[in-house]
């Protein structure tokens, strides 16, 4: 987003004081538009209707020296580049900021997490996979062989989630970064992690994902989860309205109490007779 700069002495400038209120409004609106367009202060005559301006107000701005007539049927802000950056400088600044942001994201999400992402210019320019660390299988070209992982403790049985967890001494990868590298959206990541947490055999979500990732089986686990997610909803019981159940129970208790009160009053009235 660009900005149009206004001199803090504009309010007392003879040029400003000599312009009509309509011309001043046109000047401010056009300044904002020129900053957004990055056209170095050029106002084509066809743009006047955008600002509800008139040619008379534009002529007023020219007469007081705030605008200059342009040969292409329009006007130029007087000394625009003396107060505002030129379009070329703005574009160069944005390009530098974009490159800096991409480099920062690469260092945070690729280098620090040990990920190699195909298509990332910084990963590819390094010549190695983020310093030689493991790259996600979804971004590696060609067949690969998962690295060997040594586990400690009780031998795991088939189907035990802990079999996929790395040894305690091995660093865990960031769960969101790993899942994002496999193409899961933010909602899918939350749902996938929630399903993993529901498994009583999982001691550490980060450890489990790290183990699956390094063994090269995380993609299969995600595909299996997606397949089950698409099938299960048709077989699930309809969701229970817990709040509705509570309110219904309270109403039943209130009705029973009212009925008991009526019976009690009837008994009292019968005894009085």
CA-wise closest residue to 32 among 14, 20, 55, 50? 50
Report how far apart, in Å, the C-alpha atoms of 150 and of each of 114, 124, 159, 164 are. 19, 30, 18, 11
CA separation for the pair 173, 169 (Å, rounded): 13
Average pLDDT over residues 75-93: 81
What is the band of 26 on the pLDDT scale with cuts at 50, 70, 90? very high
Other Cβ atoms closer than 10 A to 47:
17
CA angle 194–195–201, rounded 5-degree value? 110
Residues 230-235: contacts with CB under 8 Å, at least 24 apart: none
Residue 67's DSSP bridge partners are: 77
| pLDDT value at residue 122 | 72
pLDDT tens digit sequence for 196-217: 777 767 777 777 878 887 788 8
What are the sequence ranges of the domains in the chain? 10-83, 97-135, 161-234
Q: What is the pLDDT of residues 247-265, one digit of tens each?
A: 777 778 888 877 887 777 7
Of 5, 56, 2, nearest to 26 by C-alpha is: 56
Q: What is the per-residue pLDDT for 6?
A: 87
Is the pTM value of this prediction over 0.75? no
């Amino acid at each position: 987003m660009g900005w149009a700069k206004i001199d803090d002495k504009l309010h007392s400038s003879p040029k400003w004081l000599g312009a009509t209120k309509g011309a001043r409004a046109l000047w401010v609106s056009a300044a904002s538009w020129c900053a957004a367009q990055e056209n170095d202060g050029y106002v084509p005559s066809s743009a006047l209707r955008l600002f509800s301006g008139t040619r008379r107000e534009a002529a007023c701005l020219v007469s007081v020296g705030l605008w200059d007539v342009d040969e292409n049927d329009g006007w130029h802000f007087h000394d625009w580049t003396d107060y505002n950056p030129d379009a070329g400088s703005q574009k160069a600044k944005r390009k530098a900021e974009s490159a800096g942001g991409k480099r920062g994201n690469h260092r945070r999400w690729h280098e620090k997490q040990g990920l190699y992402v195909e298509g990332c210019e910084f990963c590819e320019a390094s010549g190695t996979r983020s310093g030689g660390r493991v790259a996600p299988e979804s971004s590696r070209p060609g067949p690969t062989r998962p690295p060997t992982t040594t586990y400690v403790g009780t031998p795991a049985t088939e189907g035990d989630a802990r079999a996929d967890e790395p040894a305690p001494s091995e660093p865990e990868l960031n769960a969101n970064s790993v899942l994002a590298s496999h193409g899961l959206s933010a909602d899918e990541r939350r749902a996938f992690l929630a399903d993993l947490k529901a498994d009583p055999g999982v001691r550490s979500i980060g450890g489990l994902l790290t183990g699956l990732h390094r063994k090269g089986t995380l993609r299969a686990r995600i595909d299996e989860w997606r397949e089950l997610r698409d099938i299960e909803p048709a077989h699930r019981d309809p969701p229970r309205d817990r709040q509705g159940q509570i309110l219904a129970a309270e109403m039943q208790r209130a009705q029973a109490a009212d009925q008991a009160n009526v019976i009690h009053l009837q008994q009292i009235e019968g005894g009085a007779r």
